[in-house]
Amino acid sequence: MASVLYEILATLFPPQCAVCNAVGSGLCDRCAPGSAARVTVRLRTLRLAALGRYEASLRQAVLALKAGRRDVAAELGRRLAACIEPASALVPVPTTRARRLQRGFDGAVLLAQIAADRANACVLPSLEQIAGDAQRGRDRSARLAACGRFAWRAESSLSGRRVVLLDDVATTGATLEDCAATIRAAGGIVDEAVVVAWA
Ligand SMILES: [Zn+2]
pLDDT on residue 148: 79
CA of 22 to the centre of ligand 1 (A): 6
- Tens-place pLDDT, residues 81-116: 999 998 899 999 998 777 788 888 889 999 999 999
Distance 133 CA to ligand 1 centre (A): 44
**CA of 123 relative to ligand 1 center, distance in Å:** 29
Tell me the CA–centroid distance for residue 19 and ligand 1, in Å: 5
Supply the pTM of this predicted model. 0.86
Ligand 1 centroid–CA 79 distance in Å is 15
Q: How confident is the model at residue 133 (pLDDT cuts 50, 70, 90)?
A: very low
Span from the CA of 24 to the centroid of ligand 1 (angstroms): 9
> Domains in the chain and their CATH numbers?
33-198 (3.40.50)
CB distance 126 to 91 below 8 Å: yes
